[in-house]
Amino acid sequence: MTRLTLLTILVASFGAACTDDSPTDEPNNLPPEGSTSGTEGQTFDHDNNGFDPFAQIERLAKEGPTSFTSRIHSCAKVRYRSFATVLTSLGVNVGATTALSPGELYRDGYNAMGGPSFPNRIRENLGITTSGASRAFDIFAAAAPEVINAMASTTNYPARCKDASGANAVLFEGNTCRPDGITCLIGQPAQPAHVEFCTLTVSNASTPDIGKRIAVAALLAAAYTCE
């Protein structure tokens, strides 16, 4: 192929590329109506009324970006050894070896709960994981009967559940939950919503005893998993 022939081909190609073949706004060149838009039955209605971008900017300026606030306001899990301390303070025997006892579930859940591996120089996982939260729920469910019995005992009563005058907090009065007992469980002053939730759980269960165990387990799980 000669240089003249090659030059001719390049000029012809350039001329074809520079032709104005862009689509016009004529109706025949537009997509059919409704083909690129949804209807009320196909799309989610996003209500943007009342959104103030300047208020959002001001909030970010005060609180910082979400990558920062998520660390400041995030909730770390209870450390593995501290978890045993919490159970012991409520009258639970963490040294029990009975199958499916809270002590057995606690020891077998070392890895699931993110315990440290000192030989491998791996620190404890401080984040709440699905496996760790699931094992914590299992332990609280298994420990609930022991907690209830300890708080009703005269010899094995948890020291943490005594008030400043030395009086014992009462968890259940019949089938009704007491705020002083709930305060002992969750480690902070019980609110009316706590008492209402606990009492409804007891009354709505198949039996009051089962309802009490569920209520205690749920309160403990919510208090120690940042729910």
The domain limits of the chain are 80-224
Q: Which of 11-15, 53-57, 106-110 has the highest mean pLDDT?
A: 106-110
Q: Which pLDDT score, from 0 to 100, does residue 175 have?
A: 93
Which H or E run contains 197?
helix 192-204
Identify the CA nearest to 198 among candidates 183, 152, 71, 122.
183
Please compute the mean of the pLDDT values over residues 85-110 and round it to a whole number: 93
Please report where in the chains the tokens 């016009």 appear, as a residue.
24
Name the residue type at position 84.
A
Half-sphere exposure of 209 (CA within 13 A, CB side): 3
Please report where in the chains the tokens 């009490």 appear, as a residue.
212
Question: Which residues are bridge partners to 168 per DSSP?
Answer: 162
Please compute the mean of the pLDDT values over residues 124-147 and round it to a whole number: 91
9 confidence band (pLDDT: 50, 70, 90): low
What are the DSSP E strand ranges found in 43-108?
Answer: none
pLDDT above 90 as % of the chain: 49
Axis crossing angle, helix 80-89 with helix 130-151, rounded to the nearest 10: 20
Give yes or no for a contact between 170 and 147, defined as CB atoms under 8 angstroms apart.
no
Residue 204 predicted with pLDDT over 60? yes
* 42 or 152, greater pLDDT: 152
Please compute the mean of the pLDDT values over residues 213-225 and round it to a whole number: 93
Please compute the mean of the pLDDT values over residues 102-123 and round it to a whole number: 92
What are the DSSP E strand ranges found in 59-208?
Answer: 172-173, 176-177
Percent of residues in the chain assigned helix, strand, coil, to nearest 5:
50, 5, 45
Q: In this predicted model, what pLDDT tens digit does every residue of 48-92 receive, in sequence order? A: 566 677 887 887 788 777 777 766 666 778 999 999 999 999 999
Residue 217 predicted with pLDDT over 80? yes
